[in-house]
Structure 1
Amino acid sequence: MTQLVQFEDLGNMPYKQAWDYQESLLQQNLKVKSDLRVLAGSEEIPDSQFPIPTTTHHLLFVEHPPVYTLGKSGHIENILISEDERAAKGIEYYPTNRGGDITFHGPQQIVGYPILDLEKFETDIGKYLRKLEEVIILTMADYGLKGERSKGETGVWLDPDIKGKERKICAMGVRCSRWITMHGFAFNVNTDLNYFNYIIPCGIENKQVTSLENELGRKVDFEEAKERVKRNFEKVFDVKL
């Protein structure tokens, strides 16, 4: 059965505010799961007038003001500028509870945060990440670009097997609690790539970062790009937004 996913475009929102919102949605779903466990252990027959609670899927889109975020297994030394230099450039910084290392979020980047109950899909984080990658690969194909996976490295790349030409266009890092996901992907559309010069993106040295704008040689309609990601998300996950 096709799952329903509540979609919200949060617009431009500070990173911590969006993180707190994600956390609130995750906690709501965790409470539902807790209530269901209590119900399952009860001998009382539920009153048919009251529907049995169920978890709710969400997909959030957001743009963040410039910010570096560090995954829980990341290394702070992958930020190459001092705290004072970062502050002078107006770039925030947050250590997070997602997987992965250091990355950048900023204007004209589609940041997607799916809060999904994987028990209604597949309880396999690897498959979940491959599906997120597929959403971006299909979106890139809409623009005539060949997005690919790089062996052992999460995210979406161009020319991952050509040494010296590897360039990442979408970073990913997730958290999962009782099979409820949060955090997600960051897809560079018209993103200012200069911000990546001050970090070792995802902790991967000697590889480039790119954007749709950089690859196509023109500005991309940002709203159109978001619509394409949404449609491909529906297709890959077999959901309705």
Structure 2
Amino acid sequence: MSELRVVRAGTVPYEDAWAWQKQLHQERVAGTGPDTLLLLEHPPVYTAGKRTLPHERPFDGTPVIDVDRGGKITWHGPGQLVGYPIVALPDPVDVVAHVRRMEQALMAVCSGVGVATALVEGRSGVWVLADERGPDRKVAAIGVRVARGVTMHGFALNCDPDMAAFSNMVPCGIPDAGATSLTAEIGRDVPVAEVIDAVEAAMREVLTAAQAVPA
């Protein structure tokens, strides 16, 4: 069993972080590196998972990075805490269980700052349910890839990003729902620095509980 290493990397360009993930993944599969959780922010960027459709991409032609994770299109940028767990899953591999663990951890973090969230059947991520302010809206997105029993990609929690970026696309390919942030929901600034300790603690708990060495 590998001890979980957590790296708070600050702001990292998306493509650099992707290359870093691939390196850590190779090391974990080979048994030469530990389970690792990267916590960071990205400069503004759109990324598209394998199921993204052409009409879901930015309406103004903004470039998009196509990546090898599940899910559809999303945006990353300052004010959004992104986490990339590169961890070995128990055998037999259960990707859905990995996603559920991350969702539950993020829901606990949201609750800790006063935002009530829920899961929506058939939709990944963490949601604020429809109310007088609007339809169901996603506060944390999740998209993963598992290869040789080891995960890549992960989650993005909207703390206090510029939400205008989400209006330039169909977020996560869901036209009848919106995106939100902790700041938007509680009416005060909730910077990444306010929640990063809680996110690390919650993820450390759920990821450590699921650790296993690949067969």
Cα root mean square deviation, aligned: 2.0
Superposed counterparts of 1:4-19, under 5 Å? 4-19=3-18
**Whole-Å Cα distance in 1 between the matches of residues 19 and 117 of structure 2?**
31
Aligned length: 209
Match of 1:103 among 74, 77, 95: 74
1:56 maps to: 34
1:26 maps to: 25
Query: How big is each residue's C-alpha offset from its partner over 1:112-152, in whole Å with a ceiling of 9 and x where there is no partner?
Result: 000000037x7211111000001110001101221110100
Superposed counterparts of 1:33-182, under 5 Å? 56-83=34-61, 86=62, 92-119=63-90, 123-159=93-129, 164-182=134-152
- Give the letter aligned to residue 119 of structure 1: P
CA spacing shift, 1:115–1:108, aligned 2, 3 Å? same
1:199 maps to: 169
Alpha carbons 1:212, 1:220 under 8 Å: kept: yes
Match of 1:235 among 188, 199, 205: 205
Normalised by the size of structure 2, how large is the TM-score? 0.90
**Whole-Å Cα distance in 2 between the matches of residues 110 and 101 of structure 1?**
19
1:226 maps to: 196
Q: Which ranges in structure 1 are unaligned for 5 or more consecutive residues? A: 33-52, 87-91
Q: CA deviation at 1:233?
A: 1.3
Alpha carbons 2:79, 2:191 under 8 Å: kept: no
**Whole-Å Cα distance in 1 between the matches of residues 128 and 159 of structure 2?**
14
Aligned residue for 2:7, secondary structure, equals: strand
Q: CA deviation at 1:162?
A: 8.9
Alpha carbons 1:150, 1:160 under 8 Å: kept: no
Alpha carbons 1:136, 1:147 under 8 Å: kept: no
**Whole-Å Cα distance in 1 between the matches of residues 59 and 170 of structure 2?**
11
Alpha carbons 2:3, 2:208 under 8 Å: kept: no
CA spacing shift, 1:160–1:126, aligned 2, 3 Å? farther
CA spacing shift, 1:201–1:31, aligned 2, 3 Å? same
Query: How big is each residue's C-alpha offset from its partner over 1:4-62, in whole Å with a ceiling of 9 and x where there is no partner?
Result: 21111111111000000000110112233xxxxxxxxxxxxxxxxxxxx6x51000011
Q: How many percent of aligned residue pairs carry the same amino acid?
A: 36
Bigger CA radius of gyration: 1
Match of 1:186 among 133, 156, 164: 156
2:212 maps to: none
Normalised by the size of structure 1, how large is the TM-score? 0.81
Range with greater deviation from structure 2 (17-26 or 230-239) = 230-239
CA spacing shift, 1:105–1:158, aligned 2, 3 Å? same
**Whole-Å Cα distance in 1 between the matches of residues 208 and 162 of structure 2?**
33
